[in-house]
Amino acid sequence: MEIKGKNYIGYSLSSQGDRTFQSYVPAKDSFLPENFHTATIEEVENTMALAKKAFSEYAKIPAAKRADFLIAITEEILAIGDVLLERANLETGLPMARLQGERARTINQLTQFAELLREGSWVDASIDTALPDRTPVPKPDIRKMLVPIGPVIVFGSSNFPFAYSVAGVDTGPALAAGNPVIVKAHAAHPGVSDLTAQAIVKAAQRTGMPDGVFSMLYDDGFEVGTALVKHPASKAVGFTGSMKGGMALFKMAQEREEPIAVFAEMGSVNPIVVLPDYLEHNALEFGKTLAGSVSLGAGQFCTNPGLVFVTKTQGLIAFADSYKNEILKTTSATMLTAGICKNYYKLRDHAFEQEDVSRLAVSEQMSEGENQAQASIATVSGQSFIANPKLHEEVFGPFSLLVICEDTGEMLEAISHLKGQLTCSLMAEEHEVHAHQAIVDKLAQISGRFILNGVPTGVEVCPSMHHGGPFPATADAKFTSVGRHSILRFVRPQSFQGWPDALLPDELKNSNPLGIFRLVNNQFSQEAIK
Amino acid sequence: MEIKGKNYIGYSLSSQGDRTFQSYVPAKDSFLPENFHTATIEEVENTMALAKKAFSEYAKIPAAKRADFLIAITEEILAIGDVLLERANLETGLPMARLQGERARTINQLTQFAELLREGSWVDASIDTALPDRTPVPKPDIRKMLVPIGPVIVFGSSNFPFAYSVAGVDTGPALAAGNPVIVKAHAAHPGVSDLTAQAIVKAAQRTGMPDGVFSMLYDDGFEVGTALVKHPASKAVGFTGSMKGGMALFKMAQEREEPIAVFAEMGSVNPIVVLPDYLEHNALEFGKTLAGSVSLGAGQFCTNPGLVFVTKTQGLIAFADSYKNEILKTTSATMLTAGICKNYYKLRDHAFEQEDVSRLAVSEQMSEGENQAQASIATVSGQSFIANPKLHEEVFGPFSLLVICEDTGEMLEAISHLKGQLTCSLMAEEHEVHAHQAIVDKLAQISGRFILNGVPTGVEVCPSMHHGGPFPATADAKFTSVGRHSILRFVRPQSFQGWPDALLPDELKNSNPLGIFRLVNNQFSQEAIK
C-alpha cells in the first residue's frame, strides 16, 4: 500500500492547496520524502457538505450493517501488514512491540463496537404503551431510543498513532452510532494516518457505505481544525491532547451560533497517595512498580503518575532508595516529536528549579538516537507543594514528583489543592482506608477512575473502564473515551410519540425483532410486546 | 403555614440584606404584603460553603434513605394544603384546576424518583472481574457506576410554579442522585417558592439529611443567580426559561475556570407539519384540536405549537375555517406576569406587521382581570416565511402562525430553515409518511420528540419521554428534564479498580445486595457474582 499524501474527501482524493509538509522521524531528527497536502478551506467545505449528505443515508443503515463496516475496517488495517507498524515506528519513535500491542488494541476496540451493535441493547430503548382510557387524559404511546447526531470531527492524538487516532477511540464509536466522521490527521504521524484512512475508505466501499461516511484532512497548522470545528454541519468533536489545544477547541465550539460538545481529554497528573502502613510493608516492591509506571512509554501516557504523596514514616527511606535506584537503571526513550521532547526538559527543569525541590534521580543510560527522554524524579516537602501551584501541573513525559508530607493531615491538605484527574490511586491497607475517610472522599471526588493499590498506567478496554475525569482532566466528566459507553458521546435520545408499529425503528417495534433489552412500561425485558 | 420571606440557607433562615420585593398578582395588577429578602453575596458564599460540606455527607447516604427524603417532600407539600394552590393562583394567574394537576404531577415526579432509587438499577453498574492469569498482562478487577457530582444550582421557571420550580424537574433528580440543591427562587412566585422550600426543609430534617442538602435564595434581579453559577463549588445548573436567560447562564458557566454544564431548556416553536391527505380527511377536527393546543394555558407552555405548515390543498379552506372559528370562541386568560403579557403582544403585533402576514383570528371573549392574553393566529405564504427569519422565532403565548406552502416541495424548503425543537409533529396518513421521506428525515433531525398525528402540548411524565431537543431548544440535546433519565444530568460515571468487595459501594458488591440489573462481564444480570 502506497502513501497518497492527499486529502480523503469521502471516496475522492483531493489536493487543491499548495502547502505541504513531511513526516518527521524523531529518532533520526530527519524527514521522510512524501508530501502531505494541507487541506484548503474549500476542501473543508466540500468535506462537510458531503458528510451532511452522507448523514441522512448512513443514520438509516441498520446497526448490523454498520457492524460489518467496523469489522471490515479491522480487516483492512490488518491487511496493510507490517508496513503500517514500521511507518508508525519511524513517525513516532515508539517501539515495535508497543505498536503491535496498540494495533491489537485498536482492532479490539473496533471489534467491541461491532459486537455492541450486533447485540443492540446499547440504544437504551424504552417503551411506554398507550392507555387510551386513562382519565382525565389518555396516555399516548411513547417510545425512546438513542439516535446519531450528525458529522463528528476527530482530532487524532500524538501519543497513540492507532488507538487514539484515525481509527481510534473517537472514530469507532462515532461511526458505530451512525455518524459520519471527519478526521483531522495529526501532523506528527501523517503516513500512518494516510494508510489507516485508506483502510477505512476501502472498508466503507466494500460494505456499501455512503460516500462521505469518512473523510480525512491534513494540516500541520490550526486552520483546517478550526474550520472543521466552526462549520455549522459539525455536531461534536473528539480530541485527545494538551490542555491548551483542548481548551482552544472547547472555546471555539462554545462560541458557535449553535454550540457543540468537545469531548476533550486534556491531561492529568494522576496522583498516587501512599498511606504509612502500606509504604512500610511494600517499600521495595512499590519503588520498583512506581518506577516502571513513571518511565513506561517515555511517560507519554495520559495516565502517567506525575505526583506521588507519602508521609515521613517508617518505610520512606527504603522506598525512596528503591524508587531512585530503579529510575537510575532505566534507559532513555525516543519521544514523539522534537517539540514534545524540548517541552519535557523545559518543564522538568522548571520543576527542578522550584523552591525546596530536590532532584532524586535521573535515568543514566541513554539509548541511541535523537529526542531522548530521561526518566526524572524529584522530591518536595508537603508545605512547599501546597504553597506552589506550579508544582500541581502536568509535566508530559517521564517525570514524577514525590511529595513528602509531615503526616496524613498535611497529606489531606496537599491533595485538597488538586484539580480533576483521570485517575487517582490510593495505596493503603484495608484498615487505613477506614481510618482515612477524608482522604478517600477527596480522591473519589476528583477522580474518574479510583484505583486501590495499583498504578494508573494500563487502561483496560472494557465496559467498566471510565476514561474521563472531572475538569480539567476532560472537558466533560460524564463521558469516557474508552469502552462501550464512549458511544454515548455521539448520540442523543429521541422520543417517538404515536407512531404505528410498522413505521417505528426495529429497536422500538412491538415484536422486538432484534431481541434487545428494553425498558417496557418500567420493567427491563427482552420480550416482545403482546 | 406562614410565608417567611427569608433565605433558606440549609436549616437556617437568613435575611442579611436590605433589598426586598413583593409578590405580584397579575390578574389584579397589584402586590401582596409579604417582603422577600434578596440574598447578599455573603449569603451566597455561606450557602455554597454549606452545600459543599453537605455534599460529602449526602453523597454517602444510601439510595433508599434518599428515597425516603423524596417521599417526605411529597408528604410535606401535600400537608401545606390548599394554601399552596391559592397562593400559586394569586401569584401566577393560573387556574386552580391546572394548579391542582400540576401539583399532582410534581408529587408524581418525586415519587417516580423515589421508586427509581428503591429499584436501584439506574446507576448503570458495570463489573469486569479480574483475570489474574491473562497474558501478557493480568486484567484487573474494574467496576463502574454513576455517582453524584456536587452542588446543583436550580433556576425555577415562571410558567410551572410547582413542576419546574423549587421541588420540580431539576431539584427532584439532583437530590435523588445525591447532590445538594440550591434553588434561586423565581421572582414571579416567591410565596409558592417559600412554602415549598419549607416543605423540603421539614422533609430533610425529618429524614435526617445533612444541613445544607437544600437551600433557597431570593432575588428579583440577576446578581444572586450570577454569583451562584460562578461559584467554584457549583457543579451544574438546571434552568427552564427564555433563550436570552439560558444563554446568559450558559456563557457564564463556560467562562468559569472550571466550566460546568447548564442544562437549559430555552424555548421552541414546536412545528406541526400537515400533509395533504391528512388535512383533507381531518380538516374540521384538526382545526379544533389545534386551536385547543395553541390556546391551552394562555400558550405558556414550552411545547406550544407556534408554527403550522400546510399546503394549498383540498382540505385547506375547511380546516382554516374550523381553526379560525375555534380561536374566535376561546376566552382570554391571565398571563404569568405583566412583563410576559406585554412581551406577548409586542411580539405578536410584530409578527402581524411582517410582510405578507395576515391576521386569521383573535379570540373575542375577554375574561375579567388584568394581563389578559387573547389567542391569536395568522397566516403567511411559504415563500414569505422562507424569506423572513423573524417569523421562525418563538412568540411566548397563545400565538401561532399558519404557513401556507404551494406544495410539499416548498414545505420541505420551509422546514429546512428551522432550528432544533423540543418537538415536531407530523400529521400524515401512513402512505404519506412513506411518500415524503425527506420531510420525515428533516423533522427527525431537529426534534427531541417526534409526534405522529398529535399535538405537542401534554408532556407525559414517563421513562420514554424525552423533553429536550437540538440547540436552541435545549443547551444539550443529550439530556431530558422530564422522566427518569433526567437524573443523568447530575451524575458522572466513576470506575473503581482493584477494590476489595467489602470496600465497594453496595451497587458493585459481588453479592448484589440491592438486587439491581448490572452488566457483569458484558452480560446483563440481576445475579450475584460467585
Which of B492, B495, B523 should be substituted to probe chain A, the one whose Cβ sees the most A Cβ atoms within 10 Å? B495
CA B6 to chain centre: 26
Query: Which phi-psi region, left, alpha or beta, contains residue A180 (left: φ > 0; alpha: ψ -120 to 50)?
Result: beta
pLDDT at site B163: 97
**pLDDT, tens digit, for every residue of A150-160?**
999 999 999 99
Please give the Cα distance from B176 to B69 (Å, whole number). Answer: 9
Q: Where are the alpha helices (DSSP H) in B82-161?
A: 82-92, 96-119
Residue B221 at interface with chain A, using a CB cutoff of 8 Å: no
Q: Which amino acid is at B148?
A: P
- Spatial contact of B407 and B275, defined as CB atoms under 8 Å apart: no
Burial class (CB in 10 A: 0-12, 13-18, 19+), A368: exposed
Please give the Cα distance from B7 to A273 (Å, whole number). Answer: 41
Place of cell 435575611: B15
Which residues of chain B neighbour A495 with C-beta distances below 8 Å?
A: 448-450, 464-466
pLDDT at site A262: 97
pLDDT at site B136: 85
Residue B54 at interface with chain A, using a CB cutoff of 8 Å: no
Among B143, B258, B471, select the one facing A258 at the smallest CB separation.
B471
pLDDT at site B267: 85
Among B144, B259, B468, select the one facing A464 at the smallest CB separation.
B144
Nearest-CA residue of chain B relative to A420?
A: B258
> Is the CB of A259 less than 8 angstroms away from the CB of B466?
no
Active-site positions of A?
Answer: 265, 302
Per-residue DSSP letter, A365: B
Residue A433 at interface with chain B, using a CB cutoff of 8 Å: yes
Three-state DSSP class for residue B335: coil
> Is the CB of A495 less than 8 angstroms away from the CB of B466?
yes
- Spatial contact of B527 and B520, defined as CB atoms under 8 Å apart: yes
Residues present in chain B in total = 530
pLDDT at site B221: 96
Residue A441 at interface with chain B, using a CB cutoff of 8 Å: yes
| Range 70-109 of A in CB contact (< 8 A) with B | 101
> Is the CB of A121 less than 8 angstroms away from the CB of B524?
yes
Residue A393 at interface with chain B, using a CB cutoff of 8 Å: no
Query: From the CB of residue A31, how many other CB atoms can be counted at a distance below 10 Å?
Result: 11
Among A126, A419, A441, select the one facing B463 at the smallest CB separation.
A126
Place of cell 429546512: B416
One digit per residue, the tens of pLDDT, for chain B of length 530 reads: 899 999 999 999 999 999 999 999 999 999 999 999 999 999 999 999 999 999 999 999 999 999 999 999 999 999 999 999 999 999 999 999 999 999 999 999 999 999 999 999 999 999 999 999 998 889 999 999 999 999 999 999 999 999 999 999 999 999 999 999 999 999 999 999 999 999 999 999 999 999 999 999 999 999 999 999 999 999 999 999 999 999 999 999 999 999 999 999 998 999 999 999 999 999 999 999 999 999 999 999 999 999 999 999 999 999 999 999 999 999 999 999 999 999 999 999 999 999 999 999 999 999 999 999 999 999 999 999 999 999 999 999 999 999 999 999 999 999 999 999 999 999 999 999 999 999 999 999 999 999 999 999 989 999 999 999 999 999 999 999 999 999 999 999 999 999 999 999 999 999 999 999 999 999 999 999 98
> Is the CB of A452 less than 8 angstroms away from the CB of B56?
no
> Is the CB of B464 less than 8 angstroms away from the CB of A522?
no
Residue A267 has pLDDT above 90, yes or no: no
Which residues of chain B neighbour A478 with C-beta distances below 8 Å?
A: 261, 488, 491-493
Residue A11 at interface with chain B, using a CB cutoff of 8 Å: no
Nearest-CA residue of chain A relative to B115?
A: A522
- Spatial contact of B27 and B18, defined as CB atoms under 8 Å apart: no
- Spatial contact of B291 and B330, defined as CB atoms under 8 Å apart: yes
**pLDDT, tens digit, for every residue of A106-160?**
999 999 999 999 999 999 999 999 999 998 889 999 999 999 999 999 999 999 9
Residue B140 at interface with chain A, using a CB cutoff of 8 Å: yes
> Is the CB of B496 less than 8 angstroms away from the CB of A261?
no
Place of cell 425543537: B421
Residue B494 at interface with chain A, using a CB cutoff of 8 Å: yes
pLDDT at site B1: 85
Q: Of the residues B265, B394, B432, B507, which is catalytic?
A: B265
Task: Set out the domains of chain A in order of their start, with CATH numbers.
Answer: 7-266+480-488 (3.40.605.10), 272-452 (3.40.309.10)
**Average per-residue pLDDT for chain A:** 97
> Is the CB of A144 less than 8 angstroms away from the CB of B470?
no
> Is the CB of B492 less than 8 angstroms away from the CB of A470?
yes
Distance from CA of B330 to the nearest CA of A (A): 20
Among A448, A452, A492, select the one facing B498 at the smallest CB separation.
A452
Among B441, B458, B495, select the one facing A464 at the smallest CB separation.
B495
Contacts of the segment A437-440: beta carbons below 8 A, 24+ positions apart? A438/A412, A439/A273, A439/A275, A439/A408, A439/A411, A439/A412, A439/A415
Please give the Cα distance from A105 to A381 (Å, whole number). Answer: 40
Average pLDDT over residues A30-56: 98
> Is the CB of A441 less than 8 angstroms away from the CB of B56?
yes
Percentage of chain A surpassing pLDDT 70? 100
Average pLDDT over residues A213-229: 98
Burial class (CB in 10 A: 0-12, 13-18, 19+), A365: exposed
Q: Of the residues B102, B302, B326, B410, which is catalytic?
A: B302
Distance from CA of A252 to the nearest CA of B (A): 11
Residue B222, C-beta contacts closer than 8 angstroms, at least 6 positions apart: B248
pLDDT at site B432: 98
> Is the CB of A448 less than 8 angstroms away from the CB of B139?
no
Per-residue DSSP letter, A417: T
* Residue (of B329, B147, B213, B98) closest to A477 by Cα position: B147
Which of A139, A272, A497, A507 should be substituted to probe chain B, the one whose Cβ sees the most B Cβ atoms within 10 Å? A497
Residue A493 at interface with chain B, using a CB cutoff of 8 Å: yes
Instruction: Provide DSSP, B128-194.
Output: E--BTT-SSSPBPPEEEEEEE-S-EEEE--SS-TTTTSTTSTTHHHHHHHT--EEEE--TTSHHHHH
- Spatial contact of A299 and A396, defined as CB atoms under 8 Å apart: yes
Residue B214, C-beta contacts closer than 8 angstroms, at least 6 positions apart: B8, B10, B171, B175, B180, B181, B182, B183, B197, B200, B201, B204
Three-state DSSP class for residue A213: coil
Among B448, B460, B480, select the one facing A139 at the smallest CB separation.
B460
B265 has catalytic annotation = yes
Burial class (CB in 10 A: 0-12, 13-18, 19+), A307: buried
> Is the CB of B493 less than 8 angstroms away from the CB of A500?
no
> Is the CB of A477 less than 8 angstroms away from the CB of B492?
yes
